[in-house]
Structure 1
Amino acid sequence: MMLLLLPFCLSVTAACVQKECEALLQFKNSFYDDPSHRLASWNGTDCCNWNGVGCHQITGHVTIIDLRYDYQVDSSPSYSNNSIDSSLLELKYLNYLDLSGNNFYTQIPSFLGSMVELTYLNLSDTAVSGKVPPHLGNLTKLDTLDLSFNYELQMANTGDVEWISHLSSLQFLGLAYIDFSKSLNLMQVISSLPMLSSLRLRACRLQSTHFSLSSWLNYSSFLSRIQLLDLSFNLLNDTIPKAFQNMTSLKYLDLSMNQFNVIFEGGISTFIRNNCGLKVLDLSWNYNLGGDVFGSRYGNQSTGCDLQVLNLGYTSFKTKIPDWLGMLKSMKSLDLGHSKIYGPIPASLGNLSSLEYLDLGHSKIYGPIPASLGNLSSLEYLDLSRNALTGTIPTAFGRLLNLRKLYVQENRLMEVGNECFTQLEKLEELDISRNLLKGILTEVHFANLYQLHSLRIGYNELLCLDIKSDWNPPFQLQVFDASSCIGCFGGDFPQWLRTQKALFRLSLSNTSLSISYLPTWFTSHNLTNLDLSFNQIMGPLPASIGNQMPNLEELYLNNNLFDDSLPPSLCRLKSLVILDLSYNKLSGVFQDCLLTPNLRILDLSHNNFSGTFAHSHGNYLSNIEKLCLRNNNFEGFMPIVLKNSKVLYILDFEKNKFSGNIPRWIGNNLESLEILMLRSNLFNGTIPSSLCNLTYLKILDLANNQLEGIIPSKLSNFHEMTRSKYIYGESFGSLYYYCMNGRYFVYNGAKCPDGGKSVAKSLERVISPHSMRLQVLTKIQIFVEIRSQ
C-alpha cells in the first residue's frame, strides 16, 4: 500500500486516549510491512504526535486520519494490505478519513457506515472492489465522499442508488469509474442533494437517457447551484443539453470523451456570457462534435468573463478562430488542436497575457504566424504543428522567455527569424522539422538554450548548419533528429555530438554523410534509437558497437556501404526490437545470438550473407513481425524456429538458396501472414495445401523454384488480395506491388504477365519445372509464377 503521512502541527493540551491509541496500533499492524518507514512515528502512547493523525485539542480524541498518497510528490515503495481494519470503529469522534491513493485490494467494509461522525471520506484510487455498500447512506454528516478511480467497484445489480439521497450534507461527490449504466434514476437522486456543488461522474457509462429533458427542467435549483461538473469519458450523444446554460454558478465543466455531435444554440460565446464565472470548459475528444462552436452569428458576448481553460481539441468544428477569444484576458490554456478549425491565426490571441498553453496543431490553419504571439510572455507550451502556415518563424518568438516546448513542424514555413529562439533559456523541446526552411543556423541560434533536450530539424533540405567542429553546446540533448537535412553537415559526421552524453534517440538519416567509417568516439550507453540510413558510410561496423551502445532498441544502418562481417559485439544488443541492415555489402554468417524474443523487425535484404539462418530450435523469434532476407546467399531448409511466429506478417526469402519442401506449418501456424515471398530459391516438391489457410495473405510469390504437382484449388480463397489496392511494403522502403483487377503492380520484381491483362486459366493442372505461367485466382487475377525466367 502506498502512503503519504502528512504531519499535523497541532498544539494539544490532552494526550491521546489510550483505547484510541491501541486501535491505531492495531490498524498499523494490519499492514504487511512499512518499507518506507512512514509509520515509524506510530509508537508510544501519544498518538496525537504521530504523522497523519490529528486530535481534538482539548479532549485528545482522534478526529483526523490522513494517510493519502500523492503520486506527484511521493515515490516511496508501495504497501500491500487486504482489508481496512475494523479497529477504526474505536475512533468514535473521527470526522476526517483519507486513505486515497493506497492499495487495499478488498471490498469497502460495511462498518464504515457506522462511523456517523465522518464529514470527510476519501477512498479514491484505493483498489477496492465489489459492491458499494448502501450503509454509506448512514453518514448523513458527510460533506465530501470520493470513491473515484476504483475500476472494479460496482453498484448493486439493480443499480439502486437511493442511499445517496440520504447524504443531505454532501457538497462534493466523486464516483468516477463506477458503472451506473443500470441506474437510470441517478441524476434524479443526485439532484435532490440540497448542498451538492461538485459532482464527478467520469467514465460511469452514462448515456443520454440518464439526462432526459424533463429531469433537467425539474431540477433547476440543482443546475443553478452546481459549480463543478465532470461527465467526461461517458456515452453521452446527440446535442449537448441546452439546460447547461442554466448553470449560473458553474466554474468547471468537463464533457470531454463523449459522443456529442451538436453544440447548444448560441455556441460557446453565449454559454460563456451566461456563465461568466466559468473557469474551465472542456469539450475535447467528441470527434463528431460540430455546429457553430463559437456562436459566430451571435457576435462577441464574452468580454470580461473569467474563462481560464478552453479545450476543444479532437473535435470536428469547421470554423475560423474568432477575434473575441483574444478578449478573455484570464485565459491560461487554449487547446484547439486536432480539429478542423481553419483560416489564419487572429492577431488578437497575442492579447492573452496570462496564456501558458496554446495548442493549434493538427488543424487546417494557414497564413503567416502573427508576430503578436510574441506578446504571450507567460507562454510555456506552443504547438502550431501540422498546418499550412507560411512565411517566417517570427523573430518575436524570442520574447517568449518562459517557453519550454515549441512545435512548428509539418508546415510550409520558409525562414527562421533572426534570434527567434536565441534567448529562450527555458526551452526544452524544439521541433522545426518538415518545413521548407532555408538558410543557415549557427552556434549563435543555440547559445542560450541551456535546458534544451529535444531538437528536431529534419526534412528541411535547404537548411544548413554552420557549426564549428570544436563547438561545445550549452545543452545535453536526449533527442536529435536531422533526417533529410541534406546540407546540414557537409558530408562529415558532426563532431559536436561527442559532447552529448545523454542521447537516447539520434537520427542522421539521409544527411549526405560520406565517411570511410563510423568514428570510434561515437558512443552512448543511453542510446536506444539510432538511424544512420541512406548515407554513404563505408567500412566495417565498429568492432565495439554492441559494447558502446548496449541499450539499443532500434538500429537503422540500411542503404549505406558497410562491408565485411558483423562484429560479435552485436550479440550484446539483447533489447533490439528493429534491426535494418539492408542494402549494404555485408557478408559472412548471420549469428543466431541476434535473434532474441524482443526482435520484431529484421531486414538483411540486399547483402552478401551466406550459410544457414536460424538453424537452432526455440521460441526466440516468437514476436517477429517482419523478416526480410531477400537477395542474399542463405541456404538450407526453411528455419523451423519460425514455426512459433504467430504475429509474422511479412516473410521475404526471395533470391537466396533455400531448399527442401515448403513446410506445411507455414499455412498452419503463421496465421497473420500477409506477404509470402519465396521466389528464386531451390524449393522443391509440391505446394502445400495448408497455404490455403492463410486468410490474410495479400501477396504470394513462389516463382523460379523447382516446385511441381497440382496447384491447390482453394488458393482462390485468398479474399484479402481483393481488399486493398495498395500495400505500403516493407517498413524500410522496399515497395510491394501486385496484379489485381486489371491493375498492374510489382512487388520488387514479381511481375505479372501481359501487363496484368490475361485470360483466366484452370487451376487444376500439373505444374512442371519447365516454362509455364499459371493464373492462380480466376476471379481476382492474382498471379503466382512457378517457372524460372
Structure 2
Amino acid sequence: MHFSSGRPGGSVGASCIPRERDALLSFKRGITSDPMGVLDSWHKKDCCQWRGVKCSNRTSHVLRLHLRNLSPETGLVGEISNSLLSMDRLVHLDLSMNYLEGPSGRMPEFLGSLTRLRYLNLSGIPFSGRVLPQLGNLSNLQHLDLSGQSYPYMYSKDISWVARIPNLQYLGMNSVNLGTIVDCPYVVNMIPSLKALNLRSCSLPTANQSLPHINLTKLERLDLSGNIFAHPMARGWFWNLTGLQHLYLAGTKLYGQAPDALAHMTSLEVIDLSFNRNMGTMTTSFKNLCSLKILDLSWCQIVGNIKDIIGRMPQCPLNKLQVLRLGYNNISGNMPDQTAHLTTLVVLDISVNNLNGGIPHGVGLLFSLSRLDLSSNNLSGPVPSEIGMLGNLTMMNLEGNNLTGNFTEEHFASLTRLKELYLDGNSLRITVGPDWIPPFSLEEAALGSCQLGPSFPAWLQFQVDIR
C-alpha cells in the first residue's frame, strides 16, 4: 500500500480514477446536512485531494475514506450510499460519529461486501436493529468498531461471525445489546490476534465462565464495565489473561475479592473495579503489580484499615502507581507513614471514608501529586506544613473533617499550580501576613468555616479567577 498525505485528508502524487470520483459524488448526494463543511472540497477535479480521501500513489485507487467527526450533533446527516462498493480497493473506512443511516435506520448490508477493508469504524452512528452477521465476510479486518452511543440500540443474538475474522486486533461493540449472548468469551477466544476488546454496557448476562485453553495471549485491553454480572468477582473468565494491561470492570455488580490469580497479571497498568458495591474486607494483594499505574477501587464498600490497604499496594523497586482512588468506602484507621512511599502518585483520593488521626507529615514527599482528596473523613489535628512542598498540586480537598490549627504561608509556599482549594467544614485559621501575595491563582475555593481574619483578607482579593 502506497499513499502520502498532502493537506489533511488529501493525497499527493495521485490522480483520481473517474468511477471512484463518481462513487464519492454519489455518496455526497446522499448527505443532506454538512454543518462543519467536511465535504466542501468535494468538487475539485482530482478526488485524491478531497478532504478525508487518500489514494494510492502507485495505482491512484482510493484506499482510505476517513470522515470521523467529534460528535453526531455536528456531523454529517444522511444515508450511506452503496456507491462505496465501486471503490473496490478501499482498506480504511471511518464514518464514525456522524448521523448516518442505511435503509430504515439500519446498518446497510452492502458493508459486508467491502472485503478488502482492514479498518472499519462505524461507532457513534445511531443505527438500530441487528448487527450485520455479513461483517464476518470481511476476513481482512484488523480493526472493527461498532460501538453505539445512545438509543436506539443495535443488538446481536449471535456473534459467532466474529470468529471468521482471523486477524482482528480491535473489536469495539460498546452499547450493542448482547443480552442473549452466553458464549461471548468462547467466541473471542477463537481470535488469538485480538489486542483490545471493548464490550462496555452490552447487557452481557454473565462472566461466570471458564476457558479450558487461553488463546487470547495478545489481549491487552478488556472493558466489560457497565454489564450487570452480579456474581462473585473471582469467577470471571478473564483472570488468566496474563498479558492484560488494561482491565475495566466498573459497575458490573461483581462482589467479593479478586482471586489470587491477579497477582500473576503483572502486565496490568490499569485496574478499574469501581462501583462494585460489595467487595467487603480487602484481601487482594497488588504488591507484585509493578507496572500498575491506575487503580480505582472507589464505591466498592471496602471494609478495612487504611494501613493494611496501603500495605497491599505495589511494592517494587520502581513503582509506577500514579492514580489511587479509594473514595466512598468504609476504610478506617490512621493514615500510615507508608503512604509517603507511593512517590509516583499524581492522584490520591480517599474521600468519604472513616479515616481518623492526623494527616502524616510524609504526605509532603509525594512531589508528583496533582490532586489530593481526603474530604469527608474524621481526620483531626493540624495540617502539616509539609503539604506546602507539593509544587505540582492543582486540587486540595480537605473539607468535612475535624482539622484544627493554622494554615500559614508555609502551607502554601510552593503551591504555584493550585487551582482548587476546599477547606470548609473544619476549624482552621488561615494566618498569613497582610501583604502576602499567594503564589497561585484559584478557580474554585470553599473556605466557609475557616477563620480568615477580622476583615476580608487582602490575599483573596488577588484571586480574580474564582468562579
- 2:202 matched to 1:184? no
Letter in 1 for 2:143: T
- 2:158 matched to 1:145? no
Alpha-carbon deviation of 1:220?
A: 7.9
Tell me if structure 2 keeps the 8 A contact 1:263–1:292: no
Aligned to 2:400, the other structure's residue is in SS state coil
Aligned to 1:40, the other structure's residue is in SS state coil
The 5 Å alignment of 1:313-392 reads 313-392=327-406
Larger Rg, first or second structure (1 or 2): 1
- For 2:170, the equivalent position in structure 1 comes to 172
1:341-396 CA distances to partner (integer Å, 9 max, x unpaired)? 44432333322322222222233333322222222212222222222222223422
Letter in 2 for 1:200: N
Residues 167 and 300 of structure 1: is their aligned pair in 2 closer, same or farther, counting only changes over 3 Å?
Answer: closer
Letter in 2 for 1:351: L
Residues 263 and 413 of structure 1: is their aligned pair in 2 closer, same or farther, counting only changes over 3 Å?
Answer: same
- 2:250 matched to 1:252? no
Aligned to 1:87, the other structure's residue is in SS state helix
CA–CA separation in structure 1 for the residues paired with 2:314 and 2:322: 17
The 5 Å alignment of 1:570-581 reads none
CA–CA separation in structure 2 for the residues paired with 1:197 and 1:340: 40
Residues 281 and 200 of structure 1: is their aligned pair in 2 closer, same or farther, counting only changes over 3 Å?
Answer: farther
CA–CA separation in structure 2 for the residues paired with 1:420 and 1:86: 72
Tell me if structure 2 keeps the 8 A contact 1:172–1:198: yes
CA–CA separation in structure 2 for the residues paired with 1:228 and 1:36: 35
The 5 Å alignment of 1:558-637 reads none
- For 1:134, the equivalent position in structure 2 comes to 133
Tell me if structure 1 keeps the 8 A contact 2:290–2:315: no
- For 2:445, the equivalent position in structure 1 comes to 430
1:315-345 CA distances to partner (integer Å, 9 max, x unpaired)? 3333544433433333222222233444432
The answer to which of 325-334 and 418-427 deviates more is 418-427
- For 1:401, the equivalent position in structure 2 comes to 416
- For 2:224, the equivalent position in structure 1 comes to none
Residues 198 and 361 of structure 1: is their aligned pair in 2 closer, same or farther, counting only changes over 3 Å?
Answer: farther
Residues 45 and 219 of structure 1: is their aligned pair in 2 closer, same or farther, counting only changes over 3 Å?
Answer: same
- For 2:123, the equivalent position in structure 1 comes to 124
Aligned to 2:242, the other structure's residue is in SS state helix
Alpha-carbon deviation of 1:401?
A: 1.0
In the alignment of these two chains, the number of paired residues is 434
Alpha-carbon deviation of 1:443?
A: 5.5
Tell me if structure 1 keeps the 8 A contact 2:296–2:326: yes
Aligned to 1:317, the other structure's residue is in SS state strand
Letter in 2 for 1:307: L
1:125-183 CA distances to partner (integer Å, 9 max, x unpaired)? 22222222222223333332222343333433xx4222223333233332222333332
- For 2:227, the equivalent position in structure 1 comes to none
Alpha-carbon deviation of 1:305?
A: 1.7
Tell me if structure 2 keeps the 8 A contact 1:199–1:229: no
The 5 Å alignment of 1:84-483 reads 84-104=80-100, 106-151=105-150, 152-156=152-156, 159-206=157-204, 209-212=206-209, 214-215=210-211, 221=217, 223-262=241-280, 265=283, 267=284, 270-271=285-286, 273-286=287-300, 288-291=301-304, 295=309, 301-395=315-409, 396-418=411-433, 422-433=437-448, 435-437=449-451, 439-442=453-456, 444-450=458-464, 452-454=465-467
CA–CA separation in structure 2 for the residues paired with 1:421 and 1:24: 65
Residues 149 and 310 of structure 1: is their aligned pair in 2 closer, same or farther, counting only changes over 3 Å?
Answer: farther
CA–CA separation in structure 1 for the residues paired with 2:292 and 2:97: 29
Tell me if structure 2 keeps the 8 A contact 1:10–1:57: no
1:259-314 CA distances to partner (integer Å, 9 max, x unpaired)? 3424763x4xx32x33222222222233x233567545668724522122222223
CA–CA separation in structure 1 for the residues paired with 2:112 and 2:332: 51
1:426-470 CA distances to partner (integer Å, 9 max, x unpaired)? 32111111x2525235453135324x233xxxxxxxxxxxxxxxx
Letter in 1 for 2:320: D
Residues 341 and 186 of structure 1: is their aligned pair in 2 closer, same or farther, counting only changes over 3 Å?
Answer: farther
- For 2:228, the equivalent position in structure 1 comes to none
CA–CA separation in structure 2 for the residues paired with 1:124 and 1:111: 17
CA–CA separation in structure 2 for the residues paired with 1:40 and 1:124: 23
Tell me if structure 2 keeps the 8 A contact 1:172–1:196: yes
Letter in 2 for 1:384: L
The answer to which of 335-344 and 414-423 deviates more is 414-423
Higher relative contact order (CA 8 A, sep 6+): 2
Residues 414 and 144 of structure 1: is their aligned pair in 2 closer, same or farther, counting only changes over 3 Å?
Answer: same
Q: Structure 1 unaligned runs (5+)?
A: 1-5, 455-789
- For 1:40, the equivalent position in structure 2 comes to 40
- For 1:70, the equivalent position in structure 2 comes to 70
TM-score (norm 2): 0.82
Residues 437 and 310 of structure 1: is their aligned pair in 2 closer, same or farther, counting only changes over 3 Å?
Answer: same
Aligned to 1:97, the other structure's residue is in SS state strand
Letter in 2 for 1:367: G
Tell me if structure 2 keeps the 8 A contact 1:205–1:235: no
Residues 170 and 298 of structure 1: is their aligned pair in 2 closer, same or farther, counting only changes over 3 Å?
Answer: same
CA–CA separation in structure 1 for the residues paired with 2:302 and 2:7: 47
CA–CA separation in structure 2 for the residues paired with 1:426 and 1:443: 15
Alpha-carbon deviation of 1:100?
A: 2.3
1:756-787 CA distances to partner (integer Å, 9 max, x unpaired)? xxxxxxxxxxxxxxxxxxxxxxxxxxxxxxxx
TM-score (norm 1): 0.50
- Coordinate RMSD, CA, aligned: 3.1
Residues 181 and 9 of structure 1: is their aligned pair in 2 closer, same or farther, counting only changes over 3 Å?
Answer: closer
CA–CA separation in structure 2 for the residues paired with 1:448 and 1:124: 47
Aligned to 2:429, the other structure's residue is in SS state strand
1:644-665 CA distances to partner (integer Å, 9 max, x unpaired)? xxxxxxxxxxxxxxxxxxxxxx
1:66-87 CA distances to partner (integer Å, 9 max, x unpaired)? 222225xxx9845433x32222
Tell me if structure 1 keeps the 8 A contact 2:299–2:329: yes
Alpha-carbon deviation of 1:91?
A: 2.2
The answer to which of 414-423 and 387-396 deviates more is 414-423
Alpha-carbon deviation of 1:118?
A: 2.2
Alpha-carbon deviation of 1:41?
A: 0.9
- % identity of equivalent residues: 34
- For 1:503, the equivalent position in structure 2 comes to none
The 5 Å alignment of 1:741-760 reads none
Letter in 2 for 1:393: F
1:194-225 CA distances to partner (integer Å, 9 max, x unpaired)? 13233333223345x4134x448856845122
Tell me if structure 2 keeps the 8 A contact 1:66–1:97: yes
CA–CA separation in structure 2 for the residues paired with 1:362 and 1:354: 23
Letter in 2 for 1:168: P
Aligned to 1:25, the other structure's residue is in SS state helix
Tell me if structure 1 keeps the 8 A contact 2:10–2:52: no
1:685-734 CA distances to partner (integer Å, 9 max, x unpaired)? xxxxxxxxxxxxxxxxxxxxxxxxxxxxxxxxxxxxxxxxxxxxxxxxxx
CA–CA separation in structure 2 for the residues paired with 1:356 and 1:438: 25
CA–CA separation in structure 2 for the residues paired with 1:69 and 1:427: 34
Alpha-carbon deviation of 1:27?
A: 1.4
- For 2:77, the equivalent position in structure 1 comes to 80
Residues 220 and 59 of structure 1: is their aligned pair in 2 closer, same or farther, counting only changes over 3 Å?
Answer: closer
Residues 300 and 90 of structure 1: is their aligned pair in 2 closer, same or farther, counting only changes over 3 Å?
Answer: closer
CA–CA separation in structure 1 for the residues paired with 2:213 and 2:347: 32
CA–CA separation in structure 2 for the residues paired with 1:140 and 1:99: 20
CA–CA separation in structure 2 for the residues paired with 1:18 and 1:292: 71
Residues 264 and 28 of structure 1: is their aligned pair in 2 closer, same or farther, counting only changes over 3 Å?
Answer: farther
